[in-house]
Amino acid sequence: MADITDYDIEHFYDNLIVREVARKHQFRVTSISTGFGQDVPEGINDLENKLLVESTTLPSRNVTNVPLNFHGIKFNLPGNAEYTGSDAWNVTFRLDQQLNIRRIFEDWTTAIFDDRTTAGSIVRSNDAYLVISLFDQMGGSHDQYVLWGVYPTEVGALDYDVGTDGDYVTCQVTLAYHYWSRQGTNAFNNRAIVVDPAEGGGVQNSATTFGGSANAETGL
């Protein structure tokens, strides 16, 4: 085994400076559409609320395996895509004093099912979506992950305690979604991947931006 040389260390450091590494804090939930228009407030998309997102995860995607036996030989074929955890994706918010973010999700769940009337509504997947934006060290957005058909399944409890030293209150919201797609650059051909809600979340190879117009800060 070759020894690590000064050249290896210098080369590694030079590449680290140029390419950097992904940092866990360089993300934001930049947009949420409930799909209900004015029936549920869209205030979650205000900049002040975006900054209150504390933590979440980038969801996974798996391709199933379909075994096929032929003359005693087992072949493996790719099957459908599965989105592990799509029935319980979590995001944690720091809450403002008026609990505005929590109230938005409370009202969203009521729009889905109202206990007083036992009535509710289901929206199409391209009407309800959530966007996770990833950023580089300079604050530029390089990829956006869009969760389609999103809706809240649980608005978490709030913990209050008079014995604490002024700790802030957080709320975990659990959402379900159908699938996700990425807006960014294709790793195979370096072409731009663009998703358009008007097309039901399909991948586009055009200059169309997410939501029909570009935002100077996020590219959305």
- The pLDDT tens digits of the residues spanning 112-147 come to 888 888 887 777 667 888 889 888 877 777 888 999
Q: Strand 141-148 relative to strand 129-135: parallel, antiparallel, unpaired?
A: antiparallel
In a domain, 189, yes or no: yes
- Torsion angle (degrees, nearest 10) of CA 138, 139, 142, 147: 160
User: Which CATH number covers residue 37?
Assistant: 2.30.110
**Residue 45 in tokens:** 């998309």
3-state secondary structure of 103: helix
- The pLDDT tens digits of the residues spanning 169-197 come to 999 999 999 999 988 666 665 566 666 55
What pTM was estimated for this model as a whole?
0.74
In a domain, 91, yes or no: yes
In a domain, 45, yes or no: yes
pLDDT tier at 86 (50, 70, 90 boundaries)? very high
**Which residues constitute the domain of residue 81?**
24-212
What's the whole-number average pLDDT of the chain?
77
In a domain, 217, yes or no: no
**Using CA atoms, how far apart are residues 27 and 135, in angstroms rounded to an integer?**
6
The mean pLDDT value for 66-86 works out to: 94
Q: How many structural domains are present in the chain?
A: 1
**Using CA atoms, how far apart are residues 40 and 110, in angstroms rounded to an integer?**
9
In a domain, 131, yes or no: yes
In a domain, 100, yes or no: yes
- The pLDDT tens digits of the residues spanning 19-73 come to 777 788 888 888 888 887 644 445 556 656 666 889 999 899 999 999 999 999 9
In a domain, 18, yes or no: no
Which of these, 30, 81, 92, lies nearest to 57 by C-alpha position?
A: 92
In a domain, 140, yes or no: yes
